[in-house]
Amino acid sequence: MKKITEEEKRKLNIALNEAILISVQICPYQKVGTIILSILSLCKDCSLPDDKRVQFTLKNVGRVVASKRLGRWNDQNAKIVKFKLQELPSIIEEFGESPIYGEEFFGDTNRDFQNWKDRLSLNWEEKNGGKTNSLFLFQDGGTKHLDLIIWFDELNIETMDHNQISIEEFISGNQRWFEALKRGDKRALQNGINPYEGDEENENARTDQVPPEGHVE
């Protein structure tokens, strides 16, 4: 098993910001979680990827908790909707591929968990599963909200045609996209996200330079 380092967590959290959550599925027998996201990334040659989707595979999953509530995310009185582990894909689908944001996906998930640990819709645990790492995801539908934490041991990242992506390259792809966004490059602007200034931490975290559009090395 490999514990994701604090530096990797920090950069992964930035790289996942504004990603679109497409699906989440947990196989309890194999203790494997499969998460599909549409990400903000540019290829090594700074072209747009043919398919923006990536697959996160979480191995040796040890616990999954979720809270689906019929109300705004901060509504303490919102009705809790119970569901089973096998229903998780359809629950995610209800939210219509909504973005995730906040840059707190990997890391101190227990801090967020404290806010809704007494309002669980799902609490699945495998005693022989792993809890080396954890991933927090959510979906916000305005009048309904889903919080989700998955504990696991190993993370693999792949393209949809099963080509491995290292954590370092996953982060670099997002760095290239962010540099393009800051320049107003249409390769980044077509995602519907506008350039912004003043986020010093993010600028320091993304250091790759993207050649101007049309530049050939």
Q: What is the pLDDT of residues 164-194, one digit of tens each?
A: 999 999 999 999 998 888 888 777 776 656 6
40 within a domain of the structure (yes/no): yes
Domain assignment of residue 112, yes or no:
yes
Of the candidates 35, 3, 34, 44, the one whose C-alpha atom is nearest the C-alpha of residue 153 is 3
State the residue range of the domain holding 88. Answer: 6-159
In a domain? residue 186? no
Residues 13-66 pLDDT 10s? 999 999 999 999 999 999 999 999 999 999 888 888 999 999 999 999 999 999
Cβ atoms of residues 89 and 23 within 8 Å: yes
Q: Tell me the residue type at 7.
A: E
Q: Does residue 12 lie within any of the structural domains? A: yes
> Is 169 inside a domain boundary?
no
> What predicted TM-score, i.e. pTM, was given to this entire model?
0.86
Asked, for residue 199, whether it belongs to a domain, the answer is no
Count of structural domains within the chain: 1
